[in-house]
C-alpha cells in the first residue's frame, strides 16, 4: 500500500519536468522520460547524476516503448522526507541539464568509481576478483 502511495506521490511531483507517458494512477512504480527537452542530456545521465545525491539510480531504458525511460520504484519503507529529497534532486538535475549539461554527462562525481564504459563492461566480463595474490 505505501509503495503505491509513494510511487503516485513522486509521479505527481515530477511529471512537470519529466514527462509521464502513461500519466494515470500507478501501482508501485511509474515510468517517466529522462531526457530533458532542449538538451543533450539523456536518461542515463540523469541516473548517473542521482548517485551524486545518494540515490540508487532507477532502471534505464525500460520499458522499451518509452523513449529515454526511467522506471522509478520507491519502496514502501521510504519516508516522506526521503521522497521529497528525491524530488529536490531530480529538480536540481533538470536545472543542471539546462545550465550545466556537462556536469550530468560526466556524472557520477561523488562515487569511488567514475562513469564506466558500459559497452566495454558488457563485452569484457570480469566475473571474479582480479587483485594479485
Report if residue 130 sits inside a domain.
no
Q: Return the CATH number at 87.
A: 3.90.1150.10
Identify whether the C-beta of residue 20 lies closer than 8 Å to the C-beta of residue 63.
Answer: no
Cα–Cα distance, 67 to 126 (Å, whole number): 30
pLDDT of res. 9? 98
Quote the strand ranges of the chain, DSSP E: 30-33, 59-60, 69-72
- Is there a domain that residue 133 lies in? no
Number of domains in the chain: 1
Residue 38 to residue 19: CA distance in whole angstroms: 14
Range of the domain at 100: 2-123
Question: Half-sphere exposure of residue 41, counting CA atoms within 13 Å on the CB side?
Answer: 28
Is residue 109 reached through a cis peptide bond, with omega within 30 degrees of 0 on the bond before it? no
Q: What is the pLDDT of residues 106-131, one digit of tens each?
A: 999 999 888 888 888 889 888 777 66
> What is the per-residue pLDDT across 41-66, written as a single tens digit (0 to 9) for each?
999 999 999 999 999 999 999 999 99
- Distance between CA 82 and CA 73 in Å, rounded? 13
pTM over 0.85? The answer is yes
Amino acid at each position: 500500500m505505501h509503495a503505491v502511495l509513494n510511487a503516485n506521490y513522486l509521479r505527481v511531483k515530477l511529471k512537470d519536468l519529466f514527462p509521464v507517458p502513461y500519466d494515470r494512477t500507478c501501482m508501485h512504480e511509474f515510468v517517466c522520460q529522462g531526457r530533458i527537452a532542449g538538451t543533450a542530456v539523456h536518461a542515463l545521465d540523469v541516473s548517473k547524476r542521482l548517485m551524486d545525491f545518494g540515490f540508487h539510480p532507477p532502471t534505464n531504458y525500460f520499458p522499451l516503448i518509452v523513449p529515454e525511460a526511467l522506471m522509478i520504484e520507491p519502496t514502501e519503507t521510504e519516508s516522506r522526507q526521503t521522497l521529497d529529497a528525491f524530488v529536490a534532486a531530480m529538480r536540481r538535475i533538470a536545472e543542471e541539464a539546462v545550465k550545466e549539461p556537462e556536469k550530468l554527462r560526466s556524472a557520477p562525481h561523488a562515487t569511488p568509481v567514475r562513469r564506466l564504459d558500459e559497452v566495454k563492461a558488457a563485452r569484457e566480463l570480469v566475473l571474479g576478483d582480479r587483485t594479485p595474490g
